[in-house]
């Protein structure tokens, strides 16, 4: 973490108070962001959150209504500025359909009136870097999805931009290909050492690819941090719900009269709430942090000192591959999701256990994290 903070001292890309609103509603508000050289930075958010708008502003395809974007220390929109310094990989790759793979990659070089020997050399190098191992005389419609992606990467790379922008380049591919290209993309970033700014709505993309990510919602940035920071300490309820699969349990709970416990429906959970809370609090628990054990009436299960326990009853167990996702009813009106290695029958009484340190608290009014 400290390493990325230090690198951020000399950001390659800096956005200050950037605003771009559309008449139709969406857009961006007051975006401040700094991206360090060589970083793989991901913008994560649901559709319509403004992440693609942000990418288009950095590309120069759109201009902000207010605020400033600096690329390598120079303001965007000053003369020729940004265009030569950024390259973009589009969602559908936007290859030139009438040109061969070679001519697609060579296009930016030809515009710069480079000699044909130099072009051949640089296209070859970029193709190799992008892992393109095919006859470059083929047209885009003769290539597979993965090959198109690699041609698009090579085209973006060939003119050696400061920043490579990517607009959901994996979203139109089938899951298997997506998985392998994700690995390839990370590898590609390592090899090139360039700054990547990557937009996605897919949290798996974001968590696996990013050095740092920004979670966006409705035109604002909710949280910036490393994948671990965002996953382990979500700063808002929205981030908590959006990042993590299966989604975090978020329940509104009341304080017990003397503040010594929380009331989960009828269940009393011995947890000291954060001091800022006076009546209600939103409690967050990741299903993967909750362990399920079948409770027996005879012995109370050994309870670690730093753990909380919640009694409940199995409502449903859904097979999700390696594990079951169990829905546990707690009290009359509340149910929680938990992960279990074994299949549990409905109506089985169970005990949910979780480490205290893994609990998340949010202010029900503002949605901000409470410590």
Q: Sheet holding 369-370: strands in order across? A: 267-269, 262-264, 249-255, 280-285, 360-362, 369-370
> Can you tell me which of 44, 87, 243, 344 binds another protein, judged by CB under 8 A?
87
Write the DSSP symbol of residue 211. Answer: S
Question: CB under 8 Å to 90, separation ≥6 — which residues?
Answer: 152, 167, 169
Binding pattern for the stretch 26-65 against another protein, x by CB under 8 A and - elsewhere:
---------------------------------xxx----
Rg (CA), the chain: 25
Closest contact distance (angstroms) between CB of 88 and another protein is 5
HEC states along 166-195? EECCCCCCCHHHHHHHHHHHHHHHHHHCCE
> Can you tell me which of 5, 17, 96, 276 binds another protein, judged by CB under 8 A?
96
CB atoms within 10 A of CB 171: 14
> Can you tell me which of 5, 83, 259, 355 binds another protein, judged by CB under 8 A?
83
Whose Cβ is closer to another protein: residue 108's or residue 244's? 108
β-bridge pairing 74-75 and 27-36: unpaired
Count residues near another protein (CB under 8 A).
23
Whose Cβ is closer to another protein: residue 140's or residue 265's? 140
Whose Cβ is closer to another protein: residue 91's or residue 204's? 91
Asked if residue 169 binds another protein (CB under 8 A), the reply is no
> Can you tell me which of 14, 155, 178, 329 binds another protein, judged by CB under 8 A?
155
Compute φ and ψ for 118, nearest 5 degrees.
-65, -40
Asked if residue 84 binds another protein (CB under 8 A), the reply is yes
Instruction: Specify the residue for token string 């200050």.
Output: 16
Enumerate residues 303-322 that contact another protein by CB under 8 A: none
Asked if residue 88 binds another protein (CB under 8 A), the reply is yes
Question: CB under 8 Å to 98, separation ≥6 — which residues?
Answer: 139
Closest contact distance (angstroms) between CB of 269 and another protein is 52
Binding pattern for the stretch 59-78 against another protein, x by CB under 8 A and - elsewhere:
xxx-----------------
CA separation, residue 131 to residues 91, 134, 256, 334, 346 (Å): 19, 9, 60, 51, 50
Cα angle: 258, vertex 264, 266; to 5 degrees: 90
> Can you tell me which of 117, 141, 258, 302 binds another protein, judged by CB under 8 A?
141
> Can you tell me which of 16, 26, 38, 90 binds another protein, judged by CB under 8 A?
90
Closest contact distance (angstroms) between CB of 219 and another protein is 22
Closest contact distance (angstroms) between CB of 127 and another protein is 16
Binding pattern for the stretch 102-131 against another protein, x by CB under 8 A and - elsewhere:
-----xx--xx-------------------
The long-range contacts involving 325-331, CB below 8 angstroms and separated by at least 24 positions, are 325/246, 325/287, 326/292, 326/350, 328/292, 328/352, 330/264, 330/265, 330/266, 330/267, 331/264, 331/265, 331/266, 331/267
Which residues in this chain contact another protein in the complex, by CB under 8 A? 59-61, 83-84, 86-88, 90-92, 94-98, 107-108, 111-112, 141, 155, 159
């Amino acid at each position: 973490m400290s390493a990325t903070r230090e690198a951020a001292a000399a950001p390659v890309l800096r956005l200050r108070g950037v605003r771009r609103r559309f008449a139709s509603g969406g857009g961006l508000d007051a975006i401040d962001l700094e991206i360090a050289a060589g970083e793989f930075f991901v913008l994560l958010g649901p559709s319509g959150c403004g992440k693609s708008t942000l990418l288009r502003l950095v590309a120069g395809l759109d201009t902000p209504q207010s605020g400033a974007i600096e690329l390598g220390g120079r303001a965007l929109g000053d003369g020729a500025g940004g265009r030569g310094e950024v390259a973009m990989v589009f969602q559908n790759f936007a290859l030139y359909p009438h040109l061969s793979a070679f001519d697609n990659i060579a296009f930016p070089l030809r515009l710069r009136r480079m000699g044909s020997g130099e072009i051949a050399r640089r296209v070859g190098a970029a193709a190799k870097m992008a892992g393109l191992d095919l006859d470059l005389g083929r047209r885009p419609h003769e290539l597979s999805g993965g090959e198109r992606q690699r041609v698009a990467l090579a085209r973006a790379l060939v003119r050696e931009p400061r920043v490579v922008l990517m607009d959901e380049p994996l979203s139109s591919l089938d899951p298997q290909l997506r998985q392998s290209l994700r690995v390839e993309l990370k590898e590609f970033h390592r090899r090139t050492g360039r700054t990547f700014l990557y937009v996605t709505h897919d949290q798996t993309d974001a968590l696996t690819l990013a050095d740092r990510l920004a979670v966006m919602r409705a035109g604002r940035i909710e949280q910036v941090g490393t994948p671990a920071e965002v996953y382990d300490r979500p700063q808002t309820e929205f981030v908590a719900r959006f990042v993590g699969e299966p989604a975090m349990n978020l329940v509104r709970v009341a304080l017990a009269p003397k503040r010594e416990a929380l009331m989960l429906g009828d269940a009393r959970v011995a947890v000291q709430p954060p001091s800022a809370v006076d009546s209600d609090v939103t409690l967050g628990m990741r299903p993967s942090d909750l362990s399920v054990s079948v409770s027996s009436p005879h012995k109370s299960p050994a309870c670690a000192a730093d753990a909380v326990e919640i009694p409940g009853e199995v409502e449903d167990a859904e097979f999700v591959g390696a594990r079951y996702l169990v829905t546990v009813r707690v009290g009359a009106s509340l149910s929680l999701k938990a992960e279990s290695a074994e299949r549990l029958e409905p109506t089985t009484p169970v005990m949910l256990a979780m480490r205290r340190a893994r609990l998340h608290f949010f202010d029900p009014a503002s949605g901000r994290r409470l410590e």
